[in-house]
Amino acid sequence: MLVLGIETSCDETGVALYHTERGLLGHALYSQVALHADYGGVVPELASRDHIRRVLPLVREILGKAGSARGDLDAVAYTEGPGLAGALLVGASIAHGLAYALEIRAVGLHHLEGHLLSPLLSRPAPAFPFVALLVSGGHTQLMRVDGIGQYELLGDTLDDAAGEAFDKTAKLLGLPYPGGPALAELADSGVAGLFTLPRPMLASGDLNFSFSGLKTAVLTVINRRPLDERARADIAAEFQAAVADVLVGKSVAALRRTALKRLVVAGGVGANRLLRERLTAAARRQGFDVFYPELEFCTDNGAMIALAGAMRLQEAGSRIEDRGSRGFTVRPRWDLEQLVAPAAA
């Protein structure tokens, strides 16, 4: 089965081809970072318009590189939510237009499910069941994953997610958009521990997260006195270490609570070098396996959507249904727990 994946949930246009027997045949990504840089954040209307310009050229590019034709497609998978409503509508309308024209199925996917399954694109791939640490944009969650659509929320963010805290702290430090990667780069030249920042909820006894207080603690340090470049780097290093300590501590606690031995890390913050180093070290000490997606699959991408769509269709049976359907919707807000395992054909 050959599945085309389309991702347009926010500020990156991703397109990919995934074959259920041959694996990932190709993917392409267009980032809108430069488009939104002057505004210090994503402008939804500009994001939607840019997706319109990019999706179909990327589809033609991927099909050409893979040596495939539109008629070879068995299904089109797209991000149905969560995300920016206008951006989601671009991907959904193009996916359903292609599916209608080709008389194949269009499959709407949860954006976070794509991230959750993205480590399955790598080798070795994790087997079910596993604990997943999702650290993507406005989400920081721990999930127990027993199979496709079989998700149990173990812990969630109560306010600012890790990615949001990175971006907001970067702005406090005067760093350019996108703030998270800029802060991580600055932290590489700093020394953690010279400034003291809290590890929020690390000893709370549950698996929830809260990073707004950490951001406020950084603001308090900044307001105490003028900071030179060296001090800013040291603050960035301590902030990054605090986030990593919390994410590692909660992940280890989740593994203990579930008695599982596999941890999957996914989402943009999952690309953070310090987090990976500390999780890998904890895995060696605690005797569990940890799996990461390739760095190119940590940010939003079409490959994870194509993979998730293919897996959903395989779970439901390879029979293509709903040919010629014209109706579709998007879900700007959509809890991952609302997903259910696909019924067998």
- 3-state SS track over 16-50: EEEECCCEEEEEEEEECHHHHHCCCCCCHHHHHHH
Q: What 8-state DSSP symbol labels residue 330?
A: -
pLDDT at 325 over 60: no
**Domains, the chain, ordered by start:** 2-116+298-338 (3.30.420.40), 125-292 (3.30.420.40)
Q: What is the pLDDT of residue 141?
A: 96
Contact, 155 vs 208, CB < 8 A?
yes
275/260 Cα distance (integer angstroms): 20
Residue 298 one-letter amino acid: C
126/128 Cα distance (integer angstroms): 7
pLDDT at 218 over 90: yes
Closest CA to 184 of 236, 141, 223: 236
Q: What is the pLDDT of residue 322?
A: 52
pLDDT at 321 over 80: no
Q: What is the pLDDT of residue 326?
A: 67
Tell me the percentage of the chain whose pLDDT exceeds 90. 88
pLDDT category, 318, cuts 50, 70, 90? very low
What integer is the mean pLDDT of 332-339? 84
pLDDT category, 336, cuts 50, 70, 90? confident
Q: What is the pLDDT of residue 320?
A: 44
Q: What is the pLDDT of residue 337?
A: 75
pLDDT category, 339, cuts 50, 70, 90? confident
| Least confident among 90-99, 220-229, 311-320 | 311-320
At 176-208, the pLDDT tens digits run: 999 999 999 999 999 999 999 999 999 999 999
At 235-291, the pLDDT tens digits run: 999 999 999 999 999 999 999 999 999 999 999 999 999 999 999 999 999 999 999
